[in-house]
Amino acid sequence: MALRLLSTRVVRPFAPALRLAAVRGYATKYYTKEHEWLSVEGDIGTLGITDHAQQSLGDIVFAETPETGDKVEVHSGIGAIESVKAASDIYAPVSGEIVDVNSALADEPSLLNSSPEADGWFAKIKLANHDELKELLDESAYKALCEAEEH
């Protein structure tokens, strides 16, 4: 009886909010042929380089991020990274506005090596056109691309 009372008075009133929170927390991850990832949640896409990219580049020593508020077009250059081996431009996989940048990269660009798909994120973009996501790769297509490059 106590369990039924708990369910009726505590759990049921919050059930719609719990379902909504579960939906909000879901992000979809996309990849580019230039070895960048974009994790999209709502209208915000978090951009970074893939683990494959950081392995190819080697030790990253410098990261140039865009400015918050910058408007970007799909495929436009928005920053750069330099490693002991090479320099590489970062391209916007979607159009939109830069709403946040990872300022920690200025002091610790090695985050791109140690945590490329988490703490080493590059910038956050407010998407202007969700249809541009259709041009990006899903995880299986990206893995196939990496395997093809290795052979």
Amino acid (1-letter code) at residue 42: G
Could you state, in chain order, the average pLDDT of each consecutive group of 10 residues for the chain (151 residues)?
50 47 66 97 97 94 97 97 94 98 96 95 97 96 94 81
Strand order in the sheet with 71-72: 28-31, 36-41, 44-49, 123-127, 96-101, 71-72
What does the pLDDT read at residue 151?
A: 81
Indicate the pTM of the whole model: 0.81
Residue 79's CB: how many other CB atoms inside 10 A? 21
Specify the 3-state DSSP secondary structure of 104. helix
Measured CA to CA in angstroms, residue 143 lies from 41, 44, 48, 52, 129 at distances of 22, 24, 16, 10, 25
User: What pLDDT does 107 receive?
Assistant: 95
pLDDT of 11 reads: 47
Helices (H), the chain: 2-6, 12-24, 51-57, 104-107, 111-114, 139-150
pLDDT digits (tens, 9 = 90+) for 85-122: 999 999 999 999 999 999 999 999 999 999 999 999 99
Show the domains of the chain with their CATH numbers. 27-150 (2.40.50.100)
Q: Are 80 and 90 in contact (CB under 8 A)?
A: yes
Q: Which pair of structure tokens corresponds to residue 47?
A: 């951009």
Give the model's pLDDT for residue 150: 85
Task: Check residue 132 and give its pLDDT.
Answer: 97
Distance CA 102, CA 119 (A): 9
Phi-psi region of 138 (alpha: psi -120 to 50; beta: other; left: phi over 0): beta
Strand partners, 72: 96
